[in-house]
Structure 1
Amino acid sequence: MDTVLQDIVLGNSDEIVKKWINEVEKNSVHKYSLTISEELFDSTNREFVNVIFVSVQNQGSKDDLKDFAERIINFGWPLNYLTEGMQAFRRVTTNFIIERSETLDAERFKQVLESVDEWVDPIVNFLVSEYSGSWESTVSLQKVALQELSAPLIPVMDGITVMPLIGTIDTERAKLIMENLLEGAIKHNAEVVLIDITGVPVVDTMVAHHIIQAAEAVRLVGSTCILVGIRPEIAQTIVNLGIDLSKFPTKSSLRKGFQSALEITDRAVVNLKDKGNEMENMIDSLNKG
């Protein structure tokens, strides 16, 4: 940075900061006033301008700028908060230098003004790059989390697991369903896997193909797959399309599918009250004997 510019900026930092904050608040407060508190907005602005001055003092150190950009992303604020803030700082600094132009000769004055751009532009580019990179990383992590939630395999009993599906099924999601089914069936030692499509709005040829593939894969690892949640309109569509689902059991509801799963695993739901009455009857018969 030009030494004259550095002296001007650091030597008049209080006045420059005051003018910058006034301009930022005037131009941006309406964008954030509905979503954040005035205190947070004010403290963030002061932190922003402090980070800018730290970059001046540290001769290009960008660690604080990087940390600040990450915090802005965590706040959920847009990129233009950073870019508009830096442009406001450029205007304030330039105007401040112009007001004191009489202290510099024409050539030196031109050099100082040019050095403002040479100082601000790299900071803007760095902030944009850091924001974009951090945002892509955040989106990637969120995508992974959503994918894991989009096809969960839930163990409900020893040997019985359920995968509830909601929403449309495309090729990418079908691949995830297949992976989760196989990994979950082995992990939970599942004898029966229930695939619940109650929340799937449309079952066309492609969706049915993916489901059949998933069921066949489950069979190959030693588990039985039951497709449940087949609504009347879905059943009609399957018939009209000539889709063959005869290779594995299908049920209209999760409840009926669970009953079948109990039968396959040699289990039954027993009413404890009835069992108690049965025991009492056995005891009475023994006493009579």
Structure 2
Amino acid sequence: MDTYILTLIRDNQEEIVNRWLEEVRSVSKDKSLRVVSDQLFLNISREFIHLIINNIEITNDNLTNALDDFSEKIIKLGWPLSFVTEGLQLFRGIALDWLIEREVEASGQLNAMKKVNEWIDPIVNHMVSTYSGSWEHTVALQKVALQELSAPLIPVFDKITIMPLIGTIDTDRAKKIMENLLSGVVKHRSEVVLIDITGVPVVDTMVAHHIIQAAEAVRLVGTKCLLVGIRPEIAQTIVNLGIDLSHIITKNSLKKGLEEALLLTDKKIVSAIMGEKQNENSYS
């Protein structure tokens, strides 16, 4: 940057900072920043603006490292990208206005604008790139986590497992359901598996087809499949669509499904008191 402009900015950076802080408060009205204390907002804002000013002459590598550290901090705080970009654009305008107010000669105003843009643009680009990479990484992790939670297989009794399904079932999720079912029934040595669709809002031809495929795949590995949680409106939809579920045991609630699963595995639940009385009778 031009030595004269650089000197002006460095010698008067506190005045520029204060002017920027006044302007940037309007940007901070975003609801995601309202939970931040005034002192924390002030401290981070000052760190942000001093980072911009103090890194005019440092090497690209050092600037990159400093921006990475700062970006990581404000991303963890949950500050939106709009705050960062609007803040930088405000600073660009303030810096140019301030230089013009200091009577930078007309012939030098264009040069000042060029130099300020060369100074601010790489910072804007880097911050946007860092934010984008961070959010993409976060979304990827969330997607993996959702996939892991989208079709859990839960053992509830010996040789009995349940797969509760919640939300819309698409092709990708159907594949995950199939994989989890097959691997899960083998892992838990399940004789009966219950697919609970209580939380599935819509059962159309495609969803029913996926469920039938899953049930058939489970049957081929020697496990019985029960479909539970069939609400009246879903039953009506299945009938209207002409979907054949005659070869699959269906129940309208998880409770009834568990009762059926216990019968299929030659189990029953008895109260502890009843069990004690039976033992007493056997000894008398």
**TM-score, normalising length from structure 1?**
0.87
Q: In the TM superposition, what is the alpha-carbon distance from 1:212 to its structure 2 partner? A: 0.6
Moved more, 141-150 or 30-39: 30-39
Structure 2 CA distance for partners of 1:188 and 1:98, relative to 1, 3 Å: same
Q: 1:206-217 counterparts in 2 under 5 A?
A: 206-217=206-217
The match for 2:94 is 92
The match for 1:287 is none
Deviations 1:196-225 (A, max 9, x none): 011222222111001011112222333221
**Cα pair 1:5 1:116 within 8 Å, conserved:** no
Q: 1:58-97 counterparts in 2 under 5 A?
A: 58-60=58-60, 61-97=63-99
Q: How far apart, in 2, do the equivalents of 1:233 and 1:109 lie?
A: 72
Deviations 1:54-102 (A, max 9, x none): 4324233212212333333333332211111111111222122223335
Residue 82 of structure 2 aligns with an amino acid whose one-letter code is N
Deviations 1:117-159 (A, max 9, x none): 1111111111112212211221222222223222222221232
**Cα pair 1:155 1:162 within 8 Å, conserved:** yes
Residue 17 of structure 1 aligns with an amino acid whose one-letter code is V
Structure 2 CA distance for partners of 1:183 and 1:278, relative to 1, 3 Å: same
The match for 1:128 is 128
Residue 64 of structure 1 aligns with an amino acid whose one-letter code is A
Q: How far apart, in 1, do the equivalents of 2:169 and 2:218 lie?
A: 18
Moved more, 71-80 or 234-243: 71-80
Q: 1:1-289 counterparts in 2 under 5 A?
A: 1-25=1-25, 27-32=26-31, 34-60=34-60, 61-101=63-103, 107-284=107-284
Q: In the TM superposition, what is the alpha-carbon distance from 1:265 to its structure 2 partner? A: 2.6
Q: In the TM superposition, what is the alpha-carbon distance from 1:256 to its structure 2 partner? A: 1.6
Q: In the TM superposition, what is the alpha-carbon distance from 1:42 to its structure 2 partner? A: 1.7
Deviations 1:215-253 (A, max 9, x none): 122223332211111122322222222211123322221
Q: Secondary structure at the match of 2:55?
A: helix
Q: In the TM superposition, what is the alpha-carbon distance from 1:175 to its structure 2 partner? A: 2.0
Structure 2 CA distance for partners of 1:113 and 1:242, relative to 1, 3 Å: closer
Q: Secondary structure at the match of 1:201?
A: coil
Q: How far apart, in 2, do the equivalents of 1:204 and 1:173 lie?
A: 15
Q: How far apart, in 2, do the equivalents of 1:272 and 1:199 lie?
A: 33
Q: Secondary structure at the match of 2:194?
A: strand
Q: In the TM superposition, what is the alpha-carbon distance from 1:273 to its structure 2 partner? A: 1.0
Q: Secondary structure at the match of 1:267?
A: coil
Residue 78 of structure 1 aligns with an amino acid whose one-letter code is P
Q: Secondary structure at the match of 1:56?
A: coil
Percent identity reads: 57
Residue 102 of structure 2 aligns with an amino acid whose one-letter code is R
Residue 158 of structure 1 aligns with an amino acid whose one-letter code is D
Task: Give 5+ residue unaligned stretches, structure 1.
Answer: 285-289
Q: How far apart, in 2, do the equivalents of 1:73 and 1:220 lie?
A: 49
**Cα pair 1:192 1:225 within 8 Å, conserved:** yes
Q: How far apart, in 2, do the equivalents of 1:168 and 1:183 lie?
A: 22
**TM-score, normalising length from structure 2?**
0.89
Moved more, 118-127 or 71-80: 71-80
Residue 30 of structure 1 aligns with an amino acid whose one-letter code is K
Residue 85 of structure 2 aligns with an amino acid whose one-letter code is T
Q: How far apart, in 2, do the equivalents of 1:51 and 1:190 lie?
A: 60
Q: Secondary structure at the match of 1:29?
A: helix
Q: How far apart, in 2, do the equivalents of 1:217 and 1:65 lie?
A: 53
Structure 2 CA distance for partners of 1:58 and 1:186, relative to 1, 3 Å: farther
**Cα pair 1:4 1:112 within 8 Å, conserved:** no
Q: How far apart, in 1, do the equivalents of 2:7 and 2:116 lie?
A: 12
Q: Secondary structure at the match of 2:210?
A: helix
Residue 80 of structure 1 aligns with an amino acid whose one-letter code is S
Structure 2 CA distance for partners of 1:162 and 1:94, relative to 1, 3 Å: same
